[in-house]
Chain A
Amino acid sequence: MENLFVNTAGSIRNIMENSGLSPLLSDAVLVMFKLLAILVFVLINALWLVYMERKIAGYIQCRYGPNRVGPKGLLQTTADIGKLISKEIIIPRGADKILFLLSPALIFAPPLMVFMVVPFGENMAAVELNIGVFYFLAVASLSTVIFWMAGWASNNKYSLLGGMRVVAQMISYELPMVLAILGVVMITGTLNMSEIIRAQENTWFIFTQPVAFLIYFIAGVAECNRAPFDLAEGESEIVAGPFTEYSGMGFAMFFLAEYANMVLVSFMAATLFLGGWLAPFGLTFIPGWIWMLLKVYVLIFLFMWLRWTYPRIRVDQLMGFGWKVLVPLSLANIFVTGVAIKVLDMIGW
């Protein structure tokens, strides 16, 4: 069980090599296979999370949530997707047509690219990258431009306002996120995600870096544009922000990308702070990739819990909180971590 996926990949490789493909080509095909598997994984997760979100919202608000389509309403999202696909895609007359259609197509690319280096279990990263964490930060920052592109191309004042809000918010919260991750990188001295997980063999970093975890989690919620930081699409102020003019599948792509981003941020949090695939209390009979998924889903539940508990905050509160609380706090965390590493080194701990 532990090596189920690793063995599958190995046997696919063997089959290809035996049928006479060159090593380079079979490597390339194998990577394609892995990326396809990740794509399917992300899409199924997004489908399931939409359902989960509605169910949790239901329970928190003392109602049932979707319960008509399929057993326990499980096919609700599938039906929704069918509906969205069959809907007309409306392009406003004043819109910048190419950019308008390009942004929902591109919005899925950055999260998918980052999933390439996520270690789903031991030896289960599609690409073992030396600078994995840094790669995550770099590629994830690209989605800002795509959101803004959507907001601008719609040629609608609410879209533009929403797009600008996304830009301001993502820039402001990327900084504390990077600085929080730096604490972990300082301890491990590596940017490789698998090695960061292996460094947590004895203690998870949530215990040695609790402040960093908190900052990372808050910044992560903000980066995903989720409540209480969902000002970008605050429907009471600016209709739906950058997505105002989108209909049908274009809208659905943004919606699904939000969930893909949420899964991604949770995977990163589990990797950096919760020990990734490592089993707590020596419960190693459960395979590592199941532990990883469990940790990710606990974090996702937290995300949803937050969303249905807290009201949306104001724009000035958002900026003030980011720059005046999170950034100084994460800088202080780096300082304390540095001093602690030196001191512990000196007393030979």
Chain B
Amino acid sequence: MELTLEAAAFWTLAAVIIVSALLVVTGKNIVHSILWLVVTFLGIAGVFIMLDAMFLAAVQVLVYAGAVCIMVVFGVMLTQRGSMEKSSLFNKRVIIAAPLAGLILAVAGFLAAVSKESVPLSGGTVPADTVSSIGEWMLTRYVVPFEAAAILLLVALIGAVFLAGEVNTDADGR
């Protein structure tokens, strides 16, 4: 009973994720694309919840559905187009796109075929408190990538402030 429920939930989520992700790419209106992107991210958060990773699910909602999509909204705000109807069009750069997509697929497929180690999805008990172990690992084992990401974000922040400041002085004509 419980297993079939789980399977049903997983396949529903998977269908939602894939369909909405396809709609993100094929939609001609960029605003609709963003909203479908939110649905995709929420679906992925659902998968995290199924794996008992509550904290990661919340991060997924907060950072991706809440923040990244809002960043795209800011992008739309700065887009200069009369109508949003045709804001996200297709182009004909098949010569560049097709090999690139093929290459990515090939690399992913190769890696998937090479890695013999299968990751067990169920079986091991999930600790009740995942937050503290994530925090501990971030500041011990993964402290270098963690700090590198922090510096990267700081650089982006300073860069954004610098760029915005430049635009301001130009607008004033000084």
Closest-CB distance, A171 to chain B (whole angstroms)? 6
The one of A134, A137, A152, A167 in contact with B55, judged by C-beta atoms closer than 8 angstroms, is A134
A25 CB, min distance to chain B CBs, angstroms = 9
Q: Mark A161-184, 1 if CB is under 8 A from B, else 0.
A: 000100100010000000000000
**CB atoms of A148 and B73 under 8 A apart:** yes
B35 in complex: contacting residue of A134, A149, A171, CB < 8 Å: A149
- Give the distance to chain B from A241, nearest Cβ to Cβ, in Å: 15
The size class of the interface chain B forms with chain A is 20 to 34
Are A129 and B69 in contact, CB atoms less than 8 angstroms apart? Answer: no
Interface size on A, as a range, is 20 to 34
**A144 CB–B CB distance under 8 Å:** yes
How many residue pairs link A and B with beta carbons under 8 A? The number is 59
Complex interface: chain B residues within 8 A of A99 (CB): 31-32, 35
Contact of B131 among A22, A138, A191 (CB under 8 A): A191
Q: How far is the CB of A164 from chain B (nearest CB, A)?
A: 6
Q: Are A131 and B77 in contact (CB under 8 A)?
A: no
B23 CB, min distance to chain A CBs, angstroms: 13
Which residues, 223 to 249 on A, are CB-close (under 8 Å) to B?
none
Interface with A: B11-19, B56-64, B107-115, B138-146, which one?
Answer: B56-64
Contact present for A138 and B69 (CB under 8 Å)? no
User: A249 to B77, alpha carbons, bound, how many Å?
Assistant: 29
* Residue-wise interface mask of B (91-114) relative to A, using a CB-CB cutoff of 8 A (1 in contact, 0 not): 000000000000000000000000
Query: Nearest chain-B residue to A143 (Cβ)?
Result: B66
* Nearest residue, chain B, Cβ from A163: B73
Q: How far is the CA of A137 from the CA of B66 in the complex (A)?
A: 10
Q: A138: which of B2, B31, B38, B58 is its contact (CB, 8 Å)? A: B58
Q: Do A129 and B61 have beta carbons less than 8 Å apart? A: no
Q: Determine the chain B residues whose CB is within 8 A of the CB of A149 once the complex forms.
A: 35
Q: Does B21 contact A (CB under 8 A)?
A: no
B65 contacts the other chain (Cβ, under 8 Å)? yes
A155 to chain B minimum Cβ distance, whole angstroms, is 9
**Contact string against B for A residues 39-81, beta-carbon threshold 8 Å, 1 for contact and 0 otherwise:** 0000000000000000000000000000000000000000000
In the bound assembly, the distance between CA atoms of A314 and B38 in angstroms comes to 31
Given the known A-B contacts A131-B131, A138-B66, A167-B70, are A145 and B58 also in contact in the complex, defined by CB atoms under 8 Å?
no
In the complex, what residues of B have CB within 8 A of residue A145's CB?
Answer: 35, 38, 65-66, 69-70, 73
The dominant DSSP class at the B interface is helix
Q: Known contacts A24-B2, A141-B62; is A129 also within 8 Å of B35 by CB?
A: no
Q: Given contacts A24-B2, A99-B35, A129-B54, is CB(A144)–CB(B128) below 8 Å? A: no
Q: Which residues of A contact B59 (CB under 8 A)?
A: 138
Q: Is the CB of B70 within 8 A of A130?
A: no
Does B1 sit within 8 A of A, measured CB to CB?
yes
CA distance A120 to B69 in the complex (A): 32
**How many angstroms from the CA of A16 to the CA of B32 in the assembled complex?**
44
Assess whether A131 is in contact with B55, with CB atoms less than 8 Å apart. yes
Nearest-Cβ distance from residue A60 to partner chain B, whole angstroms: 35
Distance of A24 Cα from B4 Cα, bound (Å): 14
Contact A142 B65 (CB under 8 A): yes
Expressed in whole angstroms, the Cα–Cα distance for A144 and B31 within the complex equals 14
Give the CA-CA distance A96 to B38 in the complex, in Å: 18
Asked whether any CB of chain A lies closer than 8 Å to the CB of B90, the reply is no
C-alpha gap A99/B61 in the complex (Å)? 21
CA distance A146 to B121 in the complex (A): 34
Known contacts A99-B35, A171-B67, A171-B70, then 20 further A-B pairs from the complex at CB < 8 Å, ordered by chain A residue = A99-B31, A130-B128, A131-B58, A134-B55, A134-B62, A135-B54, A138-B66, A141-B62, A141-B67, A142-B61, A142-B65, A144-B66, A145-B35, A145-B38, A145-B65, A148-B73, A152-B31, A167-B70, A167-B73, A167-B74
Query: Interface residues, chain A, CB within 8 Å of chain B?
Result: 22, 24, 96, 99, 129-131, 134-135, 137-139, 141-142, 144-145, 148-149, 152, 164, 167, 171, 191
22 A-B residue pairs with Cβ-Cβ distance under 8 Å, sorted by A, are A24-B2, A96-B31, A99-B32, A131-B55, A134-B55, A134-B58, A134-B62, A134-B131, A137-B58, A138-B61, A141-B61, A141-B65, A141-B67, A142-B61, A144-B66, A145-B38, A145-B65, A145-B66, A145-B69, A149-B35, A167-B70, A191-B131
